[in-house]
Amino acid sequence: MTAATDPVPTLVRGRVVTPSRVLGDGVVVVEQGVVTWVGRTENLPDGWGPAPEPAGTVLPGLVDLHCHGGGGASFPDATDAATVHRAVVEHRRHGTTSLVASLVTAPRDVLLARTALLADVADAGDLAGIHLEGPFLSAARCGAQNPDDMLTGDPDLVAEVARAARGHLVTMTVAPEVPGVADGGGDADDVLAALVGAGAVPSIGHTDASAEQVEAAVDRGFDLLAAASSTLAVRLTATHLFNGMRPLHHRDPGPIAACLAAGARGELVVELVADGTHLADGTVRTVFDVVGADAIALVTDAMAAAGMPDGDYRLGPMAVRVAEGVARIVDEEGASGAIAGGVAHLLDVVRQVVAAGIPLVDAVRAGATTPAEVLGRRDIGALVVGRRADILVTDDDLRPVRVMRGGRWLTDD
């Protein structure tokens, strides 16, 4: 996939979704790769007219914080940049113009090698960052990850990964109950302190922790972020809330209740894999009601099978079988087990959320604006003057029609 641009201003007309409302007939003006005007068509200044014919529904380019691959390519298994790029392109052509590549728990040497490879692609501008899902996780809540490779908290390993990432490590999933993760105090070194010191955001996930353990970890992480100069983010995240966590119980609220409360207080952003498989629509509606779109990041948790037919795939060391659009781990006897990531694109998730009854403005905020804020990015994630011209044009059913990134229309030459 290549990109094309015109030397003159580009006008995109349609149903425009801004951070606060939907313009039924609006225009976005792009000049030199930047949004320079957004408003109703009737108010378009004379110097830019006439407005073109409506193109469809106009969204900001989407921002996915948690993606393991797509198009048949897996980030945890990639050994060359071409494989990484294949997954990036698969999601980009469906409107995800900013993508964080996620790894899974693996041996130290594998994590460092994969991180360095992803950093090369991030240096080229094709990735928005790197996310490590592990290895400091709960074996009791391992999900589709290998418990044999999970470790106790090791700040030195965090520092090694951060060096390999060369400034592109943006977040790491950790279980706060694991020794060494969140048991430091003051300036004492633990994984939370090491992550924040490296400019990365701690994410609570794959955890069997009590509510009290999560509350303490969030308090410590939030204070560390507030005092840090190495990261622009101000809130922790929760990795795919509900999935890979001790379930919510009225006498044992666990991590879910603690994360929802922290989200409502403005201390944490919850990821939701709202693809119709990982979560019920009613659960998604409840989370939007409780914490609001400003504290929700819609993610795909996609693996190599995104955009591909049913069949057999891999997610790191784990064999995965996709049947009827659901990916599950395959055990040695060939039986299917835990859900092994998603197979959707982020636009599919946004469409599912809207179908569940969430207003389009809120769904787009959770799919673009809030995740951009997690990355500390003020140049992407919304159709706002001065931001990079990342634009997704869809039809009335929120199916992709055309994608612009940095002012350039993507083409399939």
Judgement on whether residues 28 and 103 belong to the same structural domain of the protein: no
Q: What pLDDT is attached to residue 141?
A: 94
Judgement on whether residues 87 and 9 belong to the same structural domain of the protein: no
Give the CATH number of the domain where residue 94 resides: 3.20.20.140
Q: Which of 143, 129, 198, 130 is nearest to 175 (CA)?
A: 143
Q: What are the start-end ranges of the E strands in 81-191?
A: 96-104, 129-133, 169-174
For the chain, helix, strand, coil in percent to 5 are 30, 30, 40
The predicted-structure confidence for 19-35, as pLDDT tens digits, reads as follows 999 999 999 999 999 99
Helix, strand, or coil here: 358? coil
Q: Which of 189, 148, 197, 150 is nearest to 173 (CA)?
A: 150
Judgement on whether residues 55 and 66 belong to the same structural domain of the protein: no
286 backbone dihedrals φ, ψ, rounded to 5°: -65, -45
Q: What are the start-end ranges of the E strands in 234-385?
A: 236-238, 268-272, 296-298, 311-315, 318-323, 326-330, 336-339
Q: Which of 145, 63, 72 is nearest to 111 (CA)?
A: 145
Is there a domain that residue 379 lies in?
no
Q: How far apart are CA 166 and CA 168, in angstroms?
A: 6
**Which H helix or E strand runs over 341?**
none
Q: How far apart are CA 348 and CA 95, in angstroms?
A: 10
The DSSP code sequence of 19-79 is SS-EEEEEEEEEETTEEEEEEEGGG--GGGPSP----SEEEEPEEEEEE-EETTEEGGG--
Helix, strand, or coil here: 342? strand
Range of the domain at 16: 2-59+385-411
Asked if residue 327 lies in contact with residue 342, where contact means CB atoms within 8 angstroms, the answer is yes
Q: Which of 211, 345, 171, 352 is nearest to 279 (CA)?
A: 352
Please list the pLDDT of the chain residue by residue as tens digits (413 residues).
544 545 689 999 999 999 999 999 999 999 999 999 999 999 999 888 789 999 999 999 999 999 999 999 999 999 999 999 999 999 999 999 999 999 999 999 999 999 999 999 999 999 999 999 999 999 999 888 889 999 999 999 999 999 999 999 999 999 999 999 999 876 568 999 999 999 999 999 999 999 999 999 999 999 999 998 766 789 999 999 999 999 999 999 999 999 999 999 999 999 999 999 999 999 999 999 999 999 999 999 999 999 999 998 888 888 888 988 898 888 765 546 788 889 999 999 999 999 999 999 999 999 999 999 999 999 999 999 999 999 999 999 999 999 999 999 998 53
Q: What pLDDT is attached to residue 318?
A: 83
Q: Are strands 336-339 and 391-394 parallel, antiparallel or unpaired?
A: unpaired
For residue 391, what are the contacts with CB-CB under 8 A and spacing of at least 6?
A: 12, 28, 30, 58, 59, 60, 61, 383, 403, 404
Q: Using alpha carbons only, how large is the chain's radius of gyration in Å?
A: 21
Q: What pLDDT is attached to residue 92?
A: 98
Judgement on whether residues 212 and 241 belong to the same structural domain of the protein: yes
Q: What pLDDT is attached to residue 317?
A: 83
Judgement on whether residues 128 and 261 belong to the same structural domain of the protein: yes
Residue 101: Cβ within 10 Å count? 30
Q: How many residues does the chain have?
A: 413
Judgement on whether residues 301 and 317 belong to the same structural domain of the protein: yes
What angle (nearest 5°) sits at the alpha carbon of residue 54, between those of residues 53 and 59? 145
Q: Is the bond into 45 cis (omega within 30 degrees of 0)?
A: no
Is there a domain that residue 380 lies in?
no
Q: How far apart are CA 90 and CA 1, in angstroms?
A: 10
Helix, strand, or coil here: 148? helix
Is there a domain that residue 75 lies in?
yes
Position 82, amino acid: A
Considering its fold, how many domains does the chain have in total? 2
Give the CATH number of the domain where residue 32 resides: 2.30.40.10
Read off the tokens for 347.
Answer: 């636009």
Is there a domain that residue 147 lies in?
yes
Q: Which of 244, 236, 227, 242 is nearest to 265 (CA)?
A: 236
Q: What pLDDT is attached to residue 336?
A: 62
Asked if residue 400 lies in contact with residue 346, where contact means CB atoms within 8 angstroms, the answer is no
Does this model's pTM top 0.75? yes
What angle (nearest 5°) sits at the alpha carbon of residue 154, between those of residues 234 and 121? 65
Q: Which of 116, 217, 229, 100 is nearest to 170 (CA)?
A: 100
Asked if residue 75 lies in contact with residue 68, where contact means CB atoms within 8 angstroms, the answer is yes
Judgement on whether residues 235 and 307 belong to the same structural domain of the protein: yes
Judgement on whether residues 362 and 391 belong to the same structural domain of the protein: no
Is there a domain that residue 286 lies in?
yes
- Going by the DSSP 8-state scheme, the letter that residue 201 receives in this structure is E
Judgement on whether residues 243 and 130 belong to the same structural domain of the protein: yes
Helix, strand, or coil here: 384? coil
Judgement on whether residues 257 and 391 belong to the same structural domain of the protein: no
Judgement on whether residues 370 and 399 belong to the same structural domain of the protein: no
Judgement on whether residues 52 and 67 belong to the same structural domain of the protein: no
Q: What pLDDT is attached to residue 413?
A: 36
